[in-house]
Structure 1
Amino acid sequence: MVISAAPRVERLASSGIEVIPQEYVRPQEELTSIGNVFEEEKKEEGPRVPTINLKGINSEDPVEREKCKEELKKAAAGWGVMHLVNHGIPDELIERVKKAGETFFDLPIEEKEKYANDQATGKIQGYGSKLANNACGQLEWEDYFFHLVYPEDKRDLSIWPKTPTDYKEATSEYARQLRGLATTILSTLSLGLGLEAGRLEKEVGGMEEFLLQLKINYYPRCPQPELALGVEAHTDVSALTFILHNMVPGLQLFYEGKWVTAKCVPNSIIMHIGDTIEILSNGKYKSILHRGLVNKEKVRISWAVFCEPPKEKIILQPLPETVSEEEPPRYPPRTFVQHIEHKLFRRTQDLHSNRISK
């Protein structure tokens, strides 16, 4: 059995504490913007994360098809995040994926520790909690399970949960279907840039090299949710990120200078545009700053699949077709891993900026 030295937030949360440890308390400048997530979700005024109905994306009716693609492109350019409905992945499969993840996190911590990761030795897949301090030295109120789910020949099934027994089958099938959805989205975004349909997918590694990494985020109840964050403000480094959740609100987006709480939309998949697509599109599609709130009443679980290019085989830079004299390249050439390292180095950047660091 591998026993991790990481503090498990679930253990802390279930210990009966009424005051959270200081390392989970956010800096003063952040605290003024953290509200009650249930009250925030109820608000009717203000901007709303767009919902894109994908039913028409492959329609034989060209008008319906183009309308759907235009709405998706507009959401990617204006928000960089959206709820996808009628996405083609069966509700029954999604429920199986959620049930499998919930069952794993319902196991005793000692049982989950058998799958513990060890970031110090580079073993990043498995059960974990945040170890490395970030720029402000704070920890996040979450535990997680992280592993590669696609392509299938790159998976390490030895670290996949054995309990529940449906975990492998449900997660594998979901990854396969999500990979197909990613192709549809990338094709639409390519056409939206005036490129051929397969161009963006080719630029992020194609069928062979494009990686899907699943991170199940477990946010326990927090006795002082007004002081903590489940996930601090960040942009995703991925090309695309697809998110399921257990219908407990928590996701917030930094839009037009304010934090906007995403509403819970039934049978939807949340999709983020990541830094990789922002860079390739020279900023025409947005990688939006976002964070996760926690609460006192309910455990929140989310299933995030990060669709990423290979770490070092591809140079990420604005595609020539997206650059002109009026719009020079906004990002220097870097590999994916160099971009990640650059972001870590720049972690002290102003969290109130909704641009990725250049």
Structure 2
Amino acid sequence: MEFERDHNTSSSSLPSLCKQLASSTLRGSLEPHIPVVDLSASDEDLVVRAVVKASEEWGIFQVVNHGIPTELMQQLQVVGKQFFDLPEAEKEAVAKEEDFEGYKRNYLEGIKAWDEHLFHRIWPPSCINYKYWPKNPPQYREVNEEYTRHMKKLTEKILGWLSEGLGLSPVALTKSLGGEMAEYVIRVNFYPPSPKSELALGAAVHTDIGAITLLVPNEVPGLQVFKDEQWLDLEYINSAVVVIIGDQLMVWLIVLFSYFPLYFLG
């Protein structure tokens, strides 16, 4: 379940925006760290409390020992990169039409925003339209279907822990989002090198519009979180999965925890 809400930014405002972001980014030993939750803890109550606390105070956290094989996460990134390396004509074969699914390059008033992405449904099977799934590389479908099985299982675990933290039945949030018919989508992002680094802005400031996002990052830094009037860098942890509470779940948190939304740049 991964959706993004991007706020439009004009090309003329990019240099000043980049300077503002740089000046307001907090780095160093005093920088607050985005929480990391180890899901292998033997005491599940500790995991529940850690997930709820991170969601309440941050709205974003990383999970380790989550059950998704590291090799599979690497394969997911490899097939994604192989797709973006294809000639433009091949990528356009799965380009967006009127639907939100498919391949797209983002531009800001004629200046490339250094963002290409591939977006399509991965669950439930009845909602999948394979015309938006690349045929090249050949392993793309197999890798994505295997990743979907693991990702769906992890998502339901996290929703279950959040449900318990909200004082609800463990399946309450999963059911409220549609249960087995809840729609899951994947967005594969690619940020090519920019010829003008001062204008490089891979993704504009945004919140995630869905319920929950599971992000598989790579070692290239970029994702930042706005908290307490500062932009904070996400520390890359090999094989970790980044969990972002989306707008739908944020409504629950606002009501029950007086929680206020964070904004993301990455």
TM (norm. structure 1) is 0.66
**1:31 & 1:98 partners in 2: Cα distance?**
27
Structure 1, 170-179 or 223-232: larger mean CA deviation:
223-232
Provide the residue aligned with 2:82 in structure 1: 103
Secondary structure at 2:254's aligned position in 1?
A: coil
Task: List aligned pairs for 1:102-251, cutoff 5 A.
Answer: 102-118=81-97, 122-130=98-106, 140-208=113-181, 210-251=182-223
For structure 1, the residue ranges without an aligned partner over 5 or more in a row are 1-21, 293-358
Residue type of the alignment partner of 2:232: V
Provide the residue aligned with 2:18 in structure 1: 31
Secondary structure at 2:21's aligned position in 1?
A: coil
**1:132 CA drift (Å):** 8.5
* Kept in 2: contact 1:240–1:277 (CA 8 A): yes
**2:137 & 2:223 partners in 1: Cα distance?**
27
**1:29 CA drift (Å):** 5.3
2:264 is aligned with 1:290: yes
For structure 2, the residue ranges without an aligned partner over 5 or more in a row are 1-8
Aligned mate of 1:272, from 244, 250, 254: 244
Secondary structure at 1:231's aligned position in 2?
A: coil
**2:260 & 2:160 partners in 1: Cα distance?**
17
Provide the residue aligned with 1:308 in structure 2: none
Once the two structures are superposed, residues 222-251 of structure 1 have per-residue CA deviations (whole angstroms, 9 ceiling, x without a partner) of 133333311111111111001112210100
Residue type of the alignment partner of 1:46: E
Provide the residue aligned with 2:3 in structure 1: none
* Kept in 2: contact 1:23–1:139 (CA 8 A): no
**1:30 CA drift (Å):** 2.3
**2:111 & 2:57 partners in 1: Cα distance?**
31
* Kept in 1: contact 2:94–2:131 (CA 8 A): no
**2:227 & 2:254 partners in 1: Cα distance?**
19
Secondary structure at 1:33's aligned position in 2?
A: helix
Provide the residue aligned with 1:6 in structure 2: none
Q: How many residues align?
A: 255
**RMSD, matched Cα:** 2.4
Percent same amino acid among aligned pairs? 32
* Kept in 2: contact 1:104–1:164 (CA 8 A): yes
Larger Rg: 1
Provide the residue aligned with 2:47 in structure 1: 68
Secondary structure at 1:169's aligned position in 2?
A: helix
Once the two structures are superposed, residues 294-314 of structure 1 have per-residue CA deviations (whole angstroms, 9 ceiling, x without a partner) of xxxxxxxxxxxxxxxxxxxxx
Residue type of the alignment partner of 2:94: Y
**1:286 CA drift (Å):** 5.4
* Kept in 2: contact 1:49–1:83 (CA 8 A): yes
**1:42 CA drift (Å):** 7.2
Between the two structures, name the one with larger relative contact order (CA 8 Å, sep ≥ 6).
Answer: 2
**1:179 & 1:84 partners in 2: Cα distance?**
15
**2:155 & 2:63 partners in 1: Cα distance?**
12
**2:13 & 2:193 partners in 1: Cα distance?**
17
**1:287 CA drift (Å):** 4.1
Structure 1, 103-112 or 79-88: larger mean CA deviation:
103-112
**1:102 & 1:28 partners in 2: Cα distance?**
28
Provide the residue aligned with 1:81 in structure 2: 60
Provide the residue aligned with 1:255 in structure 2: 227
